[in-house]
A and B are shown apart, each in its own frame.
Chain A
Amino acid sequence: SQQGEEDPQALSIQEGENATMNCSYKTSINNLQWYRQNSGRGLVHLILIRSNEREKHSGRLRVTLDTSKKSSSLLITASRAADTASYFCATDAADDKIIFGKGTRLHILP
């Protein structure tokens, strides 16, 4: 079973534009993590945001968390061709699992 659900499932934007991906989840969490995965490769950790945080930045990445709505967003500014990948949110609750969504496939058009 998967707790996080990313939206949209797929997104194509022009290089230089901003990309926004959303994640909704169902139960209370300790933290939420975002990952990137290039085709056929491993998951790269992007950002971890804790349940008591509302916003976090890392370079061109901005993550928000709204625990009242059980949702998070990942914003990539000034997109580049190298940002083409699948992006996953992963929720870390009080049990012993980190649960992933199905991902958003982002395609940056030249």
Chain B
Amino acid sequence: GAGVSQSPRYKVAKRGQDVALRCDPISGHVSLFWYQQALGQGPEFLTYFQNEAQLDKSGLPSDRFFAERPEGSVSTLKIQRTQQEDSAVYLCASSLIRYTEAFFGQGTRLTVV
């Protein structure tokens, strides 16, 4: 596709519910990043993939967060047993190779009620 696509754009989850957020990177992009952005703050790094390999997951806030990219293209960020503090915008970015321009999707706004 022309850009990074994320779905859904908006998600309301009841506390304790599991959610899955999808990211379709730009075709052919090797690197893929996930970020969490709270209101009024800068994006916070969650995890990084190179193809299907998750090379860094140091930013995942707890073991309730899990990300995968099984075929080196589409990625899914899963949050189990959502809590109110998980409410944020989740952003996905991809770049052709490491250390090149990273392009972001529109994000998924998650609200946990």
- A residues neighboring B (CB under 8 Å): 2, 4, 30-31, 33, 35, 40-45, 48, 88, 90, 92, 95-103
Contact = CB atoms under 8 A, between A and B. Distances in A.
B42 A100 contact: yes
Given A42-B91, A45-B103, A90-B102, 16 more contacts: A2-B42, A2-B44, A33-B102, A35-B104, A42-B105, A43-B93, A43-B104, A88-B43, A96-B48, A98-B93, A98-B102, A100-B35, A100-B43, A100-B44, A100-B45, A102-B42
A43 B43 contact: yes
Given A41-B106, A42-B105, A97 B42 contact: no
13 contacts: A2-B42, A33-B102, A42-B91, A43-B93, A48-B100, A92-B99, A96-B48, A97-B59, A98-B102, A100-B44, A101-B42, A102-B42, A103-B41
A92 B91 CA distance: 17
A92 B56 CA distance: 14
Taking each of A41, A92, A98, A101, which has the highest tally of chain B beta carbons within 10 Å of its own beta carbon? A98
Nearest to A51: B99
